[in-house]
Structure 1
Amino acid sequence: MSRQIFQHKPPAIFIMGPTASGKTALAMALRQQLPVEIISVDSALIYRGMDIGAAKPTLEEQQIAPHRLIDILDPSQSYSAADFRHDALLEMGKIVASGRIPLLVGGTMLYFKILLDGISPLPSADVKIRAEIERQAKQFGWGVIHKMLQEVDPISAGRIHPNDPQRLSRALEVFLVSGKRLTELTEIVEAELSYNVLQFAISPPDRKILHQRIEMRFQQILRTGFENEVSALYARGDLDEDLPAIRSVGYRQMWSYLSGESSYNEMVYRSICATRQLAKRQITWLRGWKNVHRRDSDDIKGIINIILHFINA
């Protein structure tokens, strides 16, 4: 294998695409032919106990092709894009040190973007401070919170509407946690990814085919015990629909069904629609993506040939 093009930066391969586009199958095929180690880039696969609905690679598939950053958190925990960047860079470094190539596969486009472009060093959420901000907002109104922000970070206050509680709360929280203004911290960005990256965006050539795959996969998910999986999460008593894990597509709709808020048929319909919407958002992300090879997801042989050429150039 020639290392000439990797003299300054080690190689890495990204496989991106909408849900149900065949990313896992492609990763499995690549793992059999190339010295790659797979890192999952999926915000749902990080959670333990969320296997069926998240279409997580099976135990058999993981034995053949182990996936890193799968099953690393309980569904009660939160996980930010910054957390992912830290963990992914750590795993990529380990893979390169072992003489192999990182293969990052998934559909969480924000994770890919932050990995490529870097991220501002914002502090993690502080539950107590956020709760206190919300308490004051309920007592005095968000207009008062906006004035408080204006006193410590007038630039952010000028950019955030007084009726945007989520952004107001976060901007004020950042200052109270770090002592620094949001505008000050967002001007600092970590270094861009120091890898020579080959990127692929894969999808079926026809949107109708993708929609068919989405519906077929969800029906298969239902047949393999999805309701029982979510029922077990529901029965725990410490989880709710506001958690990022439970807001995942499919889980949120099944949770509503178990709560008695919708019928079974409504749950199925809403889950399929939500998955289609997710795929549309993923495709929209990729439409403006730079330096990417766009390929039919069924063209595994063609993709492997491009990668081999990239490695051996």
Structure 2
Amino acid sequence: MIPAIFLMGPTASGKTELALRLADALPVDIISVDSLLVYRHFDIGSAKPSLALRQQYPHALVDIREPDEPYSAGLFREDALRCIALARERGRIPLLVGGTGLYFRALERGIDTLPPADPALRQSLMAAAEAEGWPTLHARLATLDPHTAAGIAPHDQQRIQRALEMILSSGAPISAHRHWQGEFPGPLYKIILRPPRTWLHQRIAQRLDVMLAEGFLEELESLRQRHYAPELPAMRAVGYRQYFAFGDGLCSVEEAYQAALAATRQLAKRQDTWFKKEGAHFYLDPSMDDTATRLMLGVTDFLQKSVP
């Protein structure tokens, strides 16, 4: 079976550039592993590869949902497995590229099977949160399911909401529904980018400057005019959330800029911590001049050894 390749790393670490170098040399199908790139209309602030670039180098699982349509690690796993199978049918190498660690983990190891959400209950919880605040709902969860609540921050809206939905709809905590299933089909080669922090922080600042020059503020205004609910995951993404605060008059443009930089750096740190725990076959420092060459050597050596 044709191996699949995971190319993982924190935001702004150069994953896309390296993926394109691989695509120039090998018959790969690029599959995006990014929880924000699945959404349409979130283009500049997500660093989504341009349409022109994607026409030259097709990326699967980009622009597959409207921002108000639900998406999850479980749905991603289903979509990614289908894309991997299609690539292999065409005799091509699936190259999965991104920074969403939970999606990579779900794809490699499987995902919890949980009951579907109850729209009416979700609406009721959202109304309660708007009236009372998420910390109050977290306290309610702590009474009903203290074990789950202990692992959730008081302002973690999505996890509080889902945990309350589970216990209120079924009478049992989330842990009672967990049945971890699935395993990755076929051989897998995992690559993790581990950039120096100073280098990565410079890249993050440079990328934010480019986004602003390319019309990030105009994109934000366009999204605002579409009247998406502010609690949607895409609307709360790093960078978007900070500049929406500026648009709402809650801070100055310079404060939004500094907040976006800080939040992106924090995101990169969380991603790096996550990937440290995952392990890989090959670690790369993308700040080195010969990174692309070393990546190519590592991948070709693996392919030679794993493909009869």
Question: Is TM > 0.5 for Structure 1 vs Structure 2?
Answer: yes
Taking the TM superposition and a 5 Å limit, the aligned residue runs for 1:53-64 are 53-64=45-56
Measured in 2, the distance between the counterparts of 1:73 and 1:226 equals 20
Q: Specify the alignment match of 1:241 in structure 2.
A: 230
| Structure 1 residue 170: Cα displacement | 3.1
| Equivalent AA in structure 2 for residue 293 of structure 1 | F
The verdict on how the C-alpha distance between 1:127 and 1:116 changes in structure 2, with shifts beyond 3 A counting, is same
CA contact (8 A) 2:282 2:298 kept: no
8 Å CA contact 1:241–1:255 kept in 2: the answer is: no
* 171-180 vs 95-104, greater mean Cα deviation: 171-180
Mean Cα deviation higher: 283-292 or 265-274: 283-292
| 1:99-136 deviation digits (Å, cap 9, x = unpaired) | 11110000111111111111110123322123345668
In 1: Cα distance, 2:276 partner to 2:169 partner: 37
Quote the residue 1:51 is aligned against.
Answer: 43
Could you tell me how far apart the structure 2 residues matched to 1:197 and 1:34 are?
A: 16
- 1:1-313 alignment runs, 5 A limit: 6=1, 10-132=2-124, 149=144, 156=145, 159-160=148-149, 170-174=162-166, 177=169, 182-186=174-178, 188-204=179-195, 206-237=196-227, 239-297=228-286, 298=288, 299-313=291-305
Alpha-carbon offset, residue 221 of structure 1: 0.5
Q: CA deviation at 1:292?
A: 3.4
State the AA in 1 paired with 2:213.
R
> Which has the higher Rg, Structure 1 or Structure 2?
1
Cα distance, 1:25–1:97 mapped onto 2, change above 3 Å: same
- Give the whole-Å Cα distance in 2 for the aligned partners of 1:242 and 1:41: 22
Offset, 1:312: 1.2
Q: 3-state SS of the aligned residue for 1:288? A: helix
Identical pairs, percent:
41
Output one character per residue of 1:203-227: Cα deviation in whole Å (capped at 9) or x when no partner: 33x2111111110110010001000
Structure 2: distance between partners of 1:272 and 1:20: 12
Cα distance between partner residues in 2 of 1:240 and 1:134: 11
In 2, Cα distance between equivalents of 1:135 and 1:72: 28
In structure 1, C-alpha distance between the alignment counterparts of 2:119 and 2:209, rounded to whole Å: 38
Which residue in 2 is equivalent to 1:3?
none
Task: Give the AA of the match of 1:262.
Answer: C
For 1:257 and 1:169, locate their aligned partners in 2 and report how far apart those are by CA, in whole Å: 27
CA apart distance, 1:169: 5.0
Secondary structure of 1:294 counterpart:
strand
Q: Tell me by how many angstroms 1:60 deviates.
A: 2.1
TM-score by length of 1: 0.85
1:176 Cα deviation after fit:
5.5
Aligned-residue CA RMSD (Å)? 2.6
* Greater shift in the superposed pair: 68-77 or 162-171: 162-171
Distance 1:21 1:172 in 2: 36
C-alpha deviations, 1:158-186, integer Å up to 9, x for none?
Answer: 55469969666534522565686533321
- How many residues are aligned here? 294
| 3-state SS, counterpart of residue 213 of structure 1 | helix
TM-score w.r.t. the length of structure 2 is 0.86
Q: Flag the 1:85–1:163 CA change in 2: closer, same or farther, 3 A.
A: closer
Is the CA contact (8 Å cut-off) linking 1:13 and 1:199 kept in structure 2? Answer: yes
> Tell me, which stretches of 5 or more residues in structure 2 are unaligned?
none
Give me the whole-angstrom Cα distance separating, in 2, the residues matched to 1:135 and 1:145.
Answer: 16
Cα separation, partners in 2 of 1:274 and 1:61, compared to 1, 3 Å: same
